[in-house]
Amino acid sequence: STTPVKVAVTGAAGQIGYSLLFRIASGALLGPDTPVELRLLEITPALKALEGVVMELDDCAFPTLAGVQIGDDATKVFDGVNLALLVGARPRGPGMERGDLLEANGGIFAPQGKALNEVAADDIKVTVTGNPANTNALIAMSNAPDIPTERFSALTRLDHNRAISQLAAKLGVPVTEIKKMTIWGNHSATQYPDLFHAEVSGKNAAETVGDQDWLAGTFIPTVAKRGAAIIEARGASSAASAASATIDHARTWVQGTPDGDWVSMAVRSDGSYGVQEGLISSFPVTVKDGQWSIVQGLEIDDFSRGKIDASVAELAEERDAVKGLGLI
Ligand code: NAI
């Protein structure tokens, strides 16, 4: 098609943005035949830096980049957008309590949800990367009553990719041999990367590993604390990998999942697997024709049950906190 797809990115002058924008513009999200128009939202003091990033986008002369608009007004930037990648968020500052963090992010994601509700295209799909991603997505969704709830999601694809990479390294196989990885719950340290339903070269991953101590004592904490390990090593939080996962997530949502595989996406729970309805929680999902469905019928053993319940309890606490603040 020749009509450009309008892709909004918030926090576009940030670290993730600096990697994400160039990959979207080069066709990594929508392919080499689909022109893309970028709509970049920033806060006013970051607009000058963003202008510099746009100069660099120009200088790449990407054949698929049909246009770039920038601004600090969400109702202008989101006008007619088909995909919204909400990356910009308020990080936790020194001495900031969780309630303060949720409130500060509510001040970002409630108005952005309202703006999307007002001006986005009818086929809008929203992906929240900015943390706390699940609850920020819940806030945006709750403030956009005219957009179907299934158009909101939060990113757990980075955790999913980390889990695939860790498992492949443990078993000495290429990442392409790993299928049906699942991250359950919140994008936080309570997340549950599940090897009991994953497959390695067609065989059950937990059985192939055959080492519950490694699974519980090494694999799960390594995946769940990977973000902190990167901050420790790099002196800055993961950005290129977060951008790459954001692309993977949005591309899968548009293009679908291959037969015999699924991905992890945090989406609105319909009560599947005992996850309270209405929470934005990570599930195994398949995608077809632009619509995700939660994979049904997986058996959940006691170990997995406990891990899923703990992460979902955290999501319910976050939901109650933002409800108490009047944000949803
Ligand atoms: P960063 O601090 O480099 O960039 C964030 C940008 O957002 C800044 O340029 C800031 O000006 C902008 N921003 C703040 N409020 C805004 C608003 N109301 N509208 C538009 N832009 C706004 O941060 P970085 O490294 O790019 O990370 C962005 C977010 O992604 C953080 O919340 C981080 O925790 C999260 N993250 C999520 C991951 C995931 O897997 N879900 C992985 C890695 C990071």
Quote the crossing angle between the two packed helices 133-142 and 302-324, to the nearest 10°: 50
Is residue 1 pLDDT above 80, yes or no? no
In terms of Cβ atoms closer than 10 Å to its own Cβ (0-12, 13-18, 19+), residue 196 is: middle
Overall average pLDDT of the 186-214 stretch:
98
Was 212 annotated as part of a binding site? no
CA distances from 99 to 153, 229, 318, 320 (A): 22, 25, 9, 11
Does the C-beta of 291 come closer than 6 Å to ligand 1?
no
How confident is the model over 219-255, as pLDDT tens digits?
Answer: 999 999 999 999 999 999 999 999 999 999 999 999 9
Residue found by looking up tokens 């246009």 in the block: 67
Please count the helices (runs of H) and the strands (runs of E) in the chain: 12, 14
Quote the crossing angle between the two packed helices 15-25 and 47-60, to the nearest 10°: 30
Maximal C-alpha separation, the chain: 55
Per-residue pLDDT, 97: 86
Is residue 282 pLDDT above 80, yes or no? yes
CA distances from 53 to 57, 129, 287 (A): 6, 20, 33
How confident is the model over 83-98, as pLDDT tens digits?
Answer: 999 999 998 888 888 8
50 CA from centroid of ligand 1 (Å): 14
Q: Reply yes or no on whether 187 is catalytic.
A: yes
Does the C-beta of 6 come closer than 6 Å to ligand 1?
no
Give the tokens for residue 290: 């632009």
Does the C-beta of 8 come closer than 6 Å to ligand 1?
no
Overall average pLDDT of the 192-197 stretch:
98
Give the tokens for residue 3: 């009509």
